[in-house]
Amino acid sequence: MTRLLLLLVICAACEPAPPAVPGPYRVVEDAGLDFTYTNGAAGDYFLIETMGAGGAFLDYDQDGWLDIYLVDGFDLSHLRGQYSPINLSYRDETHYWVEKDYRPGLSFKGLVDESAYQVAPATTDSPRGNRLYRNGGDGTFREVEGAAGAGDTGYGMGVAVGDFDADGDPDLYVTNYGPNVLYRNDGGAFVDVTEKAGVGDPRWSTSALFLY
């Protein structure tokens, strides 16, 4: 019996160790992404000090590779003054991200690529309203005057693109720190149909998604 127990102990000790679980690896530097987020905390305990910004993947130059847009914060001690956070856009050149010049001060809370439209919900200086940019297809964007009707002045948090009325045009749902807004695309211009659709939730919303 003693030999049997010893044999069992030896056999148990010879069992192979379970395979190691691969952990997360930091590859941003190797990929060429050089970006440091600024939360702007100034010791005043603003609510937005606790929130990160956004980022988006999109093929803005239409070369078949996903590019990335990263949103920066700003110095909250100048909350009521002028500021110009520098957001960075990177173009994917065969699995390597290359920094591209992007106009400072375009403070996006989110960015969506859908049928040549790019939507920029408002930032902390929200009286300027949301801004809409048309993709020129050559690596540049042009601001659409009046945001084509989608210039909501709420504190924008996110945006979802989807064809909610099934007419073939991309519609927009903008989430806010406050009432959300639904815009119907009427062929190049947007119409606020929030009240009619009953989706103007007045509470704090962050992100949204259209499900089909």
Question: Tell me, what's the pLDDT at 127?
Answer: 52
Question: Tell me, what's the pLDDT at 4?
Answer: 45
Q: Provide the terminal-to-terminal Cα distance of the chain, rounded to the nearest Å.
A: 66
Answer for the pair 160, 150: CB distance below 8 angstroms, yes or no.
no
Answer for the pair 109, 154: CB distance below 8 angstroms, yes or no.
no
**175-208 pLDDT tens trace:** 888 889 999 988 878 889 988 888 888 888 877 8
Residue 15 has pLDDT above 80, yes or no: no
Residue 210 has pLDDT above 70, yes or no: yes
Q: What is the mean pLDDT of residues 157-169?
A: 86
CA-CA distance, 193 to 132, in Å (whole number)? 18
Q: What is the mean pLDDT of residues 50-70?
A: 80
Residue 59 has pLDDT above 50, yes or no: yes
Answer for the pair 70, 87: CB distance below 8 angstroms, yes or no.
yes
The dihedral through the CA atoms of 95, 96, 99, 105 has a sign that is positive
Q: What percent of the chain has pLDDT over 90?
A: 2
pTM over 0.85, yes/no: no
Residue 166 has pLDDT above 80, yes or no: yes
CA-CA distance, 104 to 179, in Å (whole number)? 28
Sorting pLDDT into bands at 50, 70 and 90, what band is 77?
low
Residue 24 has pLDDT above 80, yes or no: no
Q: What's the Rg (C-alpha) of the chain?
A: 24
CA-CA distance, 154 to 201, in Å (whole number)? 13
**86-144 pLDDT tens trace:** 445 445 544 444 443 332 223 233 333 333 334 444 444 445 677 777 777 777 777 77
Sorting pLDDT into bands at 50, 70 and 90, what band is 160?
confident
DSSP, collapsed to helix, strand or coil, labels residue 147 as: helix
